[in-house]
Homo-oligomer: A and B are copies of this chain.
Amino acid sequence: MSLIVTGTIGIDTVVTPNGHAERILGGSCTYFAAAASLYGAVRLVAAVGDDFPGEHRAVFEKFPRIDLAGLETRAGSKTFAWGGKYMADMNTRETLFTELGVLAEAPPVVPAVFHDSAFVFLANTHPGVQMGMLEQLPRRRLAVADTMDLWINIARPELTALLERVDGLVLNYDEAELFTGKRNPVTAGRAILAMGPRFVVIKKGEHGALLVHRDGLAALPAYPTEQVIDPTGCGDTFAGGMMGALAGDEGWHAAGWRSGPLEDPGSYENIRRALVHGTVVASFNIEAFSLERLTTLSPEELTLRYQKYVAMTRL
């Protein structure tokens, strides 16, 4: 089943209590696609400037299941750049700088060969742009969007309109409260369901995630780890693992859950199980800067940690 992601490719500068890294490969699309490609093919739609370093482009070659037909390189434009600093608790961060570059221009176009995509992930960007992407994908079976505080604050009507058209929304704990005015995450999740989606995933970083689905609730702990280097991209790899597990054609990860395409990929049970894969993939991403850890991650390591997670939660 074809999975597509639209979002950003960025050049990140990251400062954490455990070290810092300058002008490394980042972006929501990048992290998502790398994670999802562990499970199967993933189509990427994003734009970079002609300043995009060759060494970063080479990283994508390490993930051969990412289809780069939708990667647009714009002459005379600059690649999106972002700098962020994580506080001591690694749960909060401050933005040091943002250079929009291509993000301030017209969004990339979905190539015709991608129009039949069945699984759609709209990584974090302006909800108006997300809606434009969605409209180019008429054969979608499952569409999930990410969002952030910025769009809740400055583009609430567009976000509300988008919610009527997607199956699921992924956002952070504090953003769920900001969006709904409800502190309790279950209450906040239900308020979002009332706007249209079938499910909401509330991300809590090191505390895991909460699924609020029309057909049930689930709470998933994060995989406990001591190896915390850089949380950048963990939300995107979490979503990538989830969507990859739903769409991917790989059997090794399924552990009895599925052996072929899912009849109803957005069902409570399928989303809940897919979120475990997101949790496990994100737990690797946090262990290094940029895509370093995912680049070297083997299917065996992924399977082993998945099995450890299952054992840890089995009753």
Residues of B within 8 A of A92 (CB): none
In the assembled complex, A255 has its CB within 8 A of some CB on chain B: yes
Q: Shortest Cβ distance from A311 into chain B, in angstroms?
A: 9
CB <8 Å contact, A224 and B219: yes
Q: Which of A42-50, A124-132, A204-212 lies on the face that meets chain B? A: A204-212
The complex places the Cα of A190 from the Cα of B224 at a distance, in Å, of 12
Q: For A315, give its contact among B183, B222, B223, B314 (CB under 8 Å).
A: B314
CB-defined interface of A86-125 with B at 8 Å, one 1/0 digit per residue? 0011100000000000000000000000000000000000
The 6 sampled A-B contact pairs (Cβ below 8 Å) are: A89-B183, A208-B221, A217-B224, A219-B312, A221-B221, A314-B314
The complex places the Cα of A187 from the Cα of B309 at a distance, in Å, of 18
The complex places the Cα of A273 from the Cα of B228 at a distance, in Å, of 27
The complex places the Cα of A183 from the Cα of B221 at a distance, in Å, of 18
Q: Shortest Cβ distance from A183 into chain B, in angstroms?
A: 6
In the assembled complex, A185 has its CB within 8 A of some CB on chain B: yes
CB <8 Å contact, B225 and A186: yes
CB-defined interface of A295-315 with B at 8 Å, one 1/0 digit per residue? 000000000000001101111
Interface residues of chain A, those whose CB is within 8 Å of chain B, are 88-90, 183-187, 190, 204, 207-208, 210, 216-226, 228, 255, 257, 272-273, 276, 309-310, 312-315
A90, A184, A221: most-surrounded residue (chain B CB, <10 A): A221
Nearest-CB residue, chain B, relative to A310: B315
The complex places the Cα of A218 from the Cα of B185 at a distance, in Å, of 23
CB <8 Å contact, B315 and A315: no
Nearest-CB residue, chain B, relative to A315: B310
The complex places the Cα of A257 from the Cα of B186 at a distance, in Å, of 30
The complex places the Cα of A141 from the Cα of B193 at a distance, in Å, of 49
CB <8 Å contact, A315 and B312: no
The complex places the Cα of A159 from the Cα of B151 at a distance, in Å, of 49
Nearest-CB residue, chain B, relative to A279: B219
The verdict on A219 contacting B217 (CB below 8 Å), with A207-B204, A228-B184 known, is no
